[in-house]
Structure 1
Amino acid sequence: MQHDPLFQPFKLGTLTLPNRIVMPPMTRSRASQPGDEANDLMAEYYAQRADAGLIVSEGTYIAPLGKGYAWTPGICTAAQVEGWRKVTNAVHAKGGRIFAQLWHVGRLSHTSLLGGEQPVSSSALQAKGVNVFIASGEAGVPGFVQASEPRALSIAEIRDIVAQYRAAARNAIDAGFDGVELHAANGYLVNQFIDSNANNRTDAYGGSLDNRLRFLDEVARALIEGTGDAQRVGIRLAPLTTLNGCADADPETTYLAAAKRLGEIGVAYIHIAEADWDDAPHMPLEFKHKLRGAYSGALIYAGRYTGERARAAIDAGWADLIAFGRPFVANPDLVQRLRTAAPLAEHRRETLFGGGAQGLTDYPLLDGSAAA
C-alpha cells in the first residue's frame, strides 16, 4: 500500500497533511453549561482522532443569535476561546491539525435558544417541517421542535454579522486553531442567502445570482481578514442536498459561480457536502469535474465514502481529500482501520447528541483497548 492515494501527504496552505483523510464537523452537543464552552471531554474526543490529516471542529456559533441547537459551543466570549484552546492544545500535542467551523444557523433556531429573540434570516421565510434540538422540549425533556419563524435581516444587521464572522475568525486563531471553515451549507444562514427558494430579498442581497452570492463573498473576505491569511480559510458548500428546507432553482449554475468566486478570493479549500441519505439526490460526476474546473484550490468531499470510493475519487483527480463523518464517531482509530482495511464499528445513535463520555470518548480501538 506504499502508493495508497489516501496516505499521500498533501500541502494545504502552510500545513503539510500526512494523509488525505478529514474528520468533518459533527454536532455532538457536549459544551459546558452555562456558557457553551468547549471542555476537557471535548479535548479528549478530538485528540483521540488527531491522526486524521485534518480535523474540522463541530460547528461553533459566532454570536448568541447564531445558535441553533442546545449545548453547542460558541466562540464569541473569552471563556469560549479559552475552552477551545484546551481542544487545540490537545490536538496539537498529538501531532494533529484542526480548523474551527464557524457557524450561524440563521432561521434554523428556536426562540428558547435565543433568550426569547426571534431567529434571523435572509428573508422572513420559515423552514417549515424542520426541527431543531432544544434543552427543554415536551414534558421538559431535551428534544426536537419546529424551528421558529424568522425575521429578515436589515442591511445594517448584515454588516454587523459580517463583522461578527471577522471577530470569530480572530478568536479562532487566538484559541490556537490552524484555520477556519465557514459553514455555508446545510440550510444555515449563508446558505439561506445563496439558495433561491430561501431568499426573496429585492435589495443588493437578493434577486440575481450575483446578489445572492454577495453575503458569501463578504463573509469569506472577512474571514481572511480575521485569520490574516486566505490559506487559513475553507468554505463548506452543499450544492444538491436541499437540507433543512434550502433548495436552489438552478444549483449547478449557482454553485459553479460560487466556486469560481471563492477561487478568485483565494480560499484554501472548498468542502463539498454530498447528500448522504438513502433517497438523496445524486451528485453527477460531470458536475464534480466542472467544480474542479471552476476552482483551483483544494477540494474536500464528504458523503458516505468508503475507503475504496475515497481512493477512486482522489485517483480520478476531482477530489484532493475525503471526509469520513459517522465512521469517525465510533472509530477513534479510523485512520489505521482505513490503512489496513479493518472492519468499522457502528456508532450508537442514542448518544450522538448530549450527555457525557458515553458515546463520545468510550469507543475502543480495534484491539479492544481504550483510545489514548
Structure 2
Amino acid sequence: MPTLFEPTHAGDLKLANRIVMAPLTRNRSPKAIPPDIAQTYYAQRASAGLLITEATAISHQGQGYSDVPGLYGTEQLDSWKKVTQAVHGRGGKIVVQLWHVGRVSHNDLQPDGGKPVAPSAVTAKTKTVLIKDGVPAFVDTSEPRALDAVELPGIVHAYQAAARNAVETAGFDGVEIHGANGYLLDQFLKDGSNQRTDDYGGSIENRARLLLEATRAVADAIGGGKTGIRLSPVTPANDAKDSDPQPLFDYVIKQLATLNLAYIHIIEGATGGPRVIDDRPFDYAALKAAYRSAGGKGAWMVNNGYDKALAEKAVADGADLVAFGRPYIANPDLVERLKANAPFNTPDKTTFYGGREKGYTDYPMLSN
C-alpha cells in the first residue's frame, strides 16, 4: 500500500514524496517582482515532494492584488530563476501557478486604471487587497467589463507564453493552471458569473471552452507531463457558483483526460473552509472515476484542510498527492514534522499578507 512519504511521480515530475505545498498568496512582490527573500522562503520548504508557487499573473491585466508576482517581465523571470535555482539546490521540485484573476481585481491594479475583465459585466461580491505605504487593506473589487470574443485568443496566448517563459527562462519544473476559486477560467466555467450568449457562454461545452483552450495551449508549449491544473467545483470563494456543478466538472475532467497532464489538483469543498458544503453536494469519487474512465493518467491531488491522518487515509484510498496550505506558512519543514509527529509552529496571521522576513522566513525548524 502506498504511503505519504514514499517517492512517486506526476507526469514528467519525479517527486521525493506525496506531500505538496499548495499555492499561498503572500503579497511580498512589489512591482510584481519576487523579492530576494523568496529564494529563502521556497528553499526552506524544498523537502516537499512538490512546491506550487503563490499564484502568479500571466499579464498585467491578470493582476488582482497588490504586490503579487508576475511572469510577463524580464525582471520577474530573472527573480523567479533565482528561486528555482535555490529550490533545485536543495533537491526540490517547483512549479509556478499561472493566474489571471479576471473580475477579482481593482481599477488601481489594471493597466492605465482600466476596468478588470470578466466573461460578463457582473461585479464579484468579494474583496481584493491593496497595499499603500506598506499597509494592506481589503477593498471591494471594481466593476468589470465583459471580454469581447476577439480578445480571448490573446488571453490563451498569454497563458501559453507565461508557461513557456516559466520553464524555458525561469527554470520551473512545470506549471499549474489556476482554474479554480472564482478567477477568470472558473468565471467562464460557472453560470453564476458567465452570462454570455456567444460560443463561450450558455452550454457546458461553451463555458468550458476557454479553460480547455488555455490548457491545450500550455500543454502544447511545454508538454502535458509538465502541466497541472487546479479546479474547485463548489468553493464559494470570490463569489463563484454554478447551478449544477457535477455535470459541468464531469465534462471538464473528461476533456482534460485526453491531454496527458501531470496532475489534477482538486479543492474539496470551500477553500480554507468546510470540506462539505450543505447546499452544494458534490461527488469527488465520481469525478475521479470519470477522469480515469476517460483515460486520464495524471496524478490525482487532493486539497483542503488535510492533516496527517486525513492525508494518510486519502493516499490509502487512492489519492496520489495531498496538498497542504496554511500549515506550510509557519512550518517550512512540514514533511519532517509530519514524519516525526512533531508539534506545529503557530502562524502569525498578521503577517500573512505583505511585509518582509517577519512571518515569512523566520519560523523555526525542528533542527534549529
Range into which the TM-score falls when normalised by the shorter chain: over 0.9
1:142 shift after superposition: 2.9
1:285 shift after superposition: 10
1:366 shift after superposition: 2.5
Pick from 83, 92, 96 the counterpart of residue 100 of structure 1.
96
Pick from 5, 8, 16 the counterpart of residue 7 of structure 1.
5
1:46 shift after superposition: 0.2
Whether 1:121 and 2:115 are equivalent positions in the alignment is no
C-alpha spacing 1:104/1:44, structure 2 compared with 1 (3 Å): same
State whether residues 168 and 226 of structure 1, in contact with CA within 8 Å, keep that contact through their aligned partners in structure 2: no
Whether 1:300 and 2:295 are equivalent positions in the alignment is no
Residue in structure 2 matched with residue 64 of structure 1 by the alignment = 60
1:62-86: CA deviations, max 9, x gaps? 0001000000000001111101001
State whether residues 209 and 254 of structure 1, in contact with CA within 8 Å, keep that contact through their aligned partners in structure 2: yes
Residue in structure 2 matched with residue 16 of structure 1 by the alignment = 14
Task: Identify unmatched segments of 5+ residues in structure 1.
Answer: none
Residue in structure 1 matched with residue 366 of structure 2 by the alignment = 366
Residue in structure 1 matched with residue 352 of structure 2 by the alignment = 352
Residue in structure 2 matched with residue 185 of structure 1 by the alignment = 180
Task: Identify unmatched segments of 5+ residues in structure 2.
Answer: none
C-alpha spacing 1:254/1:42, structure 2 compared with 1 (3 Å): same
Query: Which is worse superposed, 264-273 or 22-31?
Result: 264-273
State whether residues 102 and 165 of structure 1, in contact with CA within 8 Å, keep that contact through their aligned partners in structure 2: yes
C-alpha spacing 1:29/1:212, structure 2 compared with 1 (3 Å): same
RMSD, aligned CA = 1.8
Give the match's secondary structure for 1:57.
strand
1:340 shift after superposition: 1.3
What percent of counterpart residues are identical?
47
Pick from 193, 196, 202 the counterpart of residue 198 of structure 1.
193
Residue in structure 2 matched with residue 218 of structure 1 by the alignment = 213
1:64-118: CA deviations, max 9, x gaps? 0100000000000111110100110000000000001000000000001113110
Measured in 1, the distance between the counterparts of 2:308 and 2:315 equals 11
Measured in 1, the distance between the counterparts of 2:258 and 2:344 equals 40
1:273-352 equivalent positions in 2, closer than 5 A: 273-274=267-268, 275=270, 276-278=272-274, 281=277, 287-295=283-291, 296=296, 297-317=298-318, 319-352=319-352
> After the TM superposition, which parts of structure 1 deviate over 2 Å for at least 4 consecutive aligned residues?
282-286
1:286 shift after superposition: 7.7
1:282 shift after superposition: 6.2
C-alpha spacing 1:62/1:158, structure 2 compared with 1 (3 Å): same
Residue in structure 2 matched with residue 265 of structure 1 by the alignment = 259
C-alpha spacing 1:256/1:20, structure 2 compared with 1 (3 Å): same
1:304-337: CA deviations, max 9, x gaps? 10101001011011x1100010111000110001
State whether residues 6 and 20 of structure 1, in contact with CA within 8 Å, keep that contact through their aligned partners in structure 2: yes
Measured in 1, the distance between the counterparts of 2:279 and 2:226 equals 27
State whether residues 24 and 324 of structure 1, in contact with CA within 8 Å, keep that contact through their aligned partners in structure 2: yes
Residue in structure 2 matched with residue 175 of structure 1 by the alignment = 170
Measured in 2, the distance between the counterparts of 1:159 and 1:279 equals 35
Q: Give, as a single letter, the amino acid of the residue that structure 2 aligns with 1:190.
A: L
Give the match's secondary structure for 2:283.
helix
1:28 shift after superposition: 0.4
Whether 1:52 and 2:48 are equivalent positions in the alignment is yes
Measured in 1, the distance between the counterparts of 2:188 and 2:281 equals 26
Measured in 1, the distance between the counterparts of 2:13 and 2:259 equals 20
Measured in 1, the distance between the counterparts of 2:85 and 2:279 equals 37
State whether residues 101 and 183 of structure 1, in contact with CA within 8 Å, keep that contact through their aligned partners in structure 2: yes
1:238-249 equivalent positions in 2, closer than 5 A: 238-249=232-243
Pick from 245, 251, 263 the counterpart of residue 251 of structure 1.
245
Q: TM-score, normalised by structure 2?
A: 0.94
1:172-194: CA deviations, max 9, x gaps? 01200000000000000000000
Q: TM-score, normalised by structure 1?
A: 0.93
Q: Give, as a single letter, the amino acid of the residue that structure 2 aligns with 1:179.
A: G
